Structure 1
């Protein structure tokens, strides 16, 4: 797959559709490589005249953490220290290699590096936080905003269910491929969709193993999580977002409860929100039609409004 330099990084990316069409940038969440996006989803967007771009965020997949190789082995502070420091109002962002603001700058620079003025931006989970920060910090690069299964960052919102958070941060029983696959199955049973939508266990297991074989970046995962915890809060800035916004959330999301999505929609003027039944904190093939049925009309409406 191609690689391009943006914001001081060599970013691994992939395109579907014509480079002459308007761009839609899909931003993955914590631990998510660009391979997580279903081909059916990307192709459906491309078939409606979109240049679909996916990429590996810094520190995951085949995109490196930072431009300085000497910092590649830098270990972030313990999660508990960052959480306590943030709760006490300490400037914990100064103690980590990067924060989500830096990842938003990466994504904005990628749009420009690929020759586009703007893009429709859609982000999942941590990626949904990143696209909000893109709209706030780099509004000139964002045409429309789609935060998905994510939060405004308000610390007063309902927390994750304990079982879901434990599943997200659990470690495999061993370093074998079998253990990695088993952990993925347990994780998505805890945070994923209703069985009517959730991917079959064999697909979950195979996907986790394929991702590990593509890139194994344990320090990268630790630094990404540190970036998430140390990011200065942004919820009180969302009232300044001017881009058309569609918020999507699953009714069964136990990791980031639906109230978090509703909070984003309340804070952004004119934002639309759709809560999808039986959907959890995952991206199974079975939910793709529901997503497209909401995203495609939104893109069509906003495109017509922009040219009216």
Structure 2
């Protein structure tokens, strides 16, 4: 996080902890707006932000997550997408590429549908179309819903493979990822869970006219590969990249392959022409 500009910004009636990278640096590429997974703080994504060093990067802690203050009232994808648009205004950013992982993948879809004029390209990782999703393994989902994984290191260590697959094994990346996590507040985690209750993007996705890359692990126990195939079928012209042996954290276990895939998609020549 040494290269990040971290600050607290109040927009749309909500105070958010925001991290940005390289927004002031010259670049021919649009900034990447990132929506994180449920209960996950900015620090967990810092390695990815630093790896994508040819563009600006914007991420924020959801209310009650990481170091953003607890939400006073609940929110939903509509209100949070509106708040995100106000945040981009505050940062002086007109247009972005958008990426989301897991819960954040749903937010990324919703933001692209609600504020399409501000989105060029879309990357969806380990995510689904919401209520119509093919559910993951009950054993993994029960651990995912338990915020204890953020506060109890022994619990996280014991159930890490059940939650995220065995791709990371006992590598230093596994320990480093666990060390970067910060516990969300109980209310923050609950409100984030509730935000997507009853939500689905499925009816709207056939009308999503954005170049879209869908990235999925074929051993993801939380969001099975079938969900990526559903998204691929619903989004016109979308691309589906499958990471063999990838669990829910394939962005870590397949780091170089993931970054290479994202760069190729975002830097493609036809993308430059569309932005011109």
TM-score interval for Structure 1 and Structure 2 normalised by the shorter chain: 0.7 to 0.9
Match of 1:169 in 2: 145
The answer as to 2:208 corresponding to 1:241 is yes
User: Of 17, 26, 45, which residue of structure 2 is paired with 1:12?
Assistant: 17
Residue 75 of structure 2 aligns to a residue whose secondary structure is coil
Map residues 256-267 of structure 1 onto 2, 5 A cutoff. 256-267=223-234
Give distance in 1, aligned partners of 2:125 and 2:202: 15
Match of 1:36 in 2: 44
* Closer, same or farther: CA 65–7 of 1 in aligned 2, 3 Å: farther
* Closer, same or farther: CA 124–239 of 1 in aligned 2, 3 Å: same
User: Of 19, 32, 45, which residue of structure 1 is paired with 2:52?
Assistant: 45
Give distance in 2, aligned partners of 1:197 and 1:141: 39
Residue 160 of structure 1 aligns to a residue whose secondary structure is coil
Shift of 1:220: 0.7
Residue 204 of structure 2 aligns to a residue whose secondary structure is helix
Map residues 189-268 of structure 1 onto 2, 5 A cutoff. 189-196=161-168, 199-200=171-172, 202-203=175-176, 205-208=178-181, 211-212=182-183, 216-231=184-199, 233-268=200-235
Shift of 1:168: 0.7
* Closer, same or farther: CA 196–202 of 1 in aligned 2, 3 Å: closer
User: Of 137, 147, 151, which residue of structure 1 is paired with 2:128?
Assistant: 151
Shift of 1:256: 0.7
Alignment RMSD, CA only? 2.4
Shift of 1:113: 1.8
* Closer, same or farther: CA 264–197 of 1 in aligned 2, 3 Å: farther
Match of 1:25 in 2: 33
User: Of 157, 177, 181, which residue of structure 1 is paired with 2:153?
Assistant: 181
Give distance in 2, aligned partners of 1:259 and 1:207: 30
User: Of 69, 83, 94, which residue of structure 2 is paired with 1:117?
Assistant: 94
Stretches of structure 1 lacking an aligned partner (at least 5 in a row): 73-96
Return the structure number with greater helix share: 1
* Closer, same or farther: CA 269–205 of 1 in aligned 2, 3 Å: closer
Give distance in 2, aligned partners of 1:279 and 1:218: 30
Give distance in 2, aligned partners of 1:286 and 1:224: 26
Map residues 74-153 of structure 1 onto 2, 5 A cutoff. 97-153=74-130
Shift of 1:15: 1.5
Give distance in 1, aligned partners of 2:180 and 2:162: 17
Shift of 1:161: 0.6
CA deviation map 1:46-72 (0-9, x unaligned): 2x2x11112112231222354xxxx36
Match of 1:277 in 2: 244
Matched-pair contact (CA < 8 Å) for 1:197–1:278: no
Structure 1, 261-270 or 164-173: larger mean CA deviation: 164-173
Shift of 1:305: 3.1
* Closer, same or farther: CA 285–197 of 1 in aligned 2, 3 Å: farther
Match of 1:83 in 2: none
Give distance in 2, aligned partners of 1:142 and 1:199: 36
* Closer, same or farther: CA 14–163 of 1 in aligned 2, 3 Å: same
Shift of 1:298: 0.5
Matched-pair contact (CA < 8 Å) for 1:247–1:261: yes
Q: Name which one, 1 or 2, has greater alpha-carbon Rg.
A: 1
Give distance in 1, aligned partners of 2:158 and 2:50: 30
TM-score normalised by structure 1 residue count: 0.79
Match of 2:8 in 1: 3
Equivalenced residue count is: 266
Shift of 1:164: 0.7
